[in-house]
């Protein structure tokens, strides 16, 4: 609050605590990257955008993943990745398929883990390399649909 020159009461008028702020921050980032772009970019363009955002904010994400347990950061990101994958399913007419929906929930967690796990590697891979693998995996998965 000191750095932002925000009064304590102003903060609490908008957030109940620092964890509420953390959830809002992650959701805002994911909404900007994913939700705002669903009608304008292809999913193949959105995935690298999300991976890039995680990479340029690596210090922030490493900190909030390591220093607190109140907000499940991976779960929060995964919820938005699920939205993206459901959008892909919708365009392929598979939304009502229970197996496809199960896949989406599981794959979203794996995709998010891939992003966040990379933050802790001594020599992390570049965002474009990781996102290309994810895009290729999605193509492979859906190539028969």
* Beta carbons within 10 angstroms of residue 19's beta carbon: 14
> Which pLDDT tens digit goes with each residue over 73-93?
999 999 999 999 999 888 878
The residue among 34, 77, 54, 63 whose CA lies nearest residue 124 is: 54
* Beta carbons within 10 angstroms of residue 101's beta carbon: 16
Higher pLDDT, 41 or 9: 41
> Which pLDDT tens digit goes with each residue over 134-145?
999 988 987 766
* % of the chain surpassing 90 pLDDT: 70
Determine the Cα–Cα distance for residues 60 and 22; give it in Å rounded to an integer.
10
pTM of the shown model: 0.88
* % of the chain surpassing 70 pLDDT: 98
CATH code at 16-142: 1.10.357
> Which pLDDT tens digit goes with each residue over 115-136?
999 999 999 999 999 999 999 9
pLDDT at 145 (0 to 100): 64
The residue among 141, 63, 66 whose CA lies nearest residue 102 is: 141
């Amino acid at each position: 609050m000191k750095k932002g020159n925000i009064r304590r009461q102003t903060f609490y008028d908008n957030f109940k605590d620092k964890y509420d702020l953390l959830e809002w921050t992650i959701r805002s980032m994911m909404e900007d990257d994913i939700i705002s772009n669903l009608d304008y970019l292809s999913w193949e363009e959105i995935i690298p955008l999300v991976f890039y955002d995680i990479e340029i904010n690596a210090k922030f994400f490493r900190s909030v993943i390591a220093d607190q347990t109140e907000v499940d950061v991976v779960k929060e990101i995964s919820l938005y990745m699920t939205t993206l994958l459901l959008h892909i399913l919708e365009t392929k007419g598979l939304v009502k398929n229970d197996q496809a929906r199960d896949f989406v929930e599981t794959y979203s967690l794996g995709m998010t883990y891939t992003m966040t796990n990379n933050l802790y590697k001594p020599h992390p891979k570049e965002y474009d390399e990781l996102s290309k693998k994810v895009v290729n995996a999605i193509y492979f998965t859906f190539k028969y649909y």
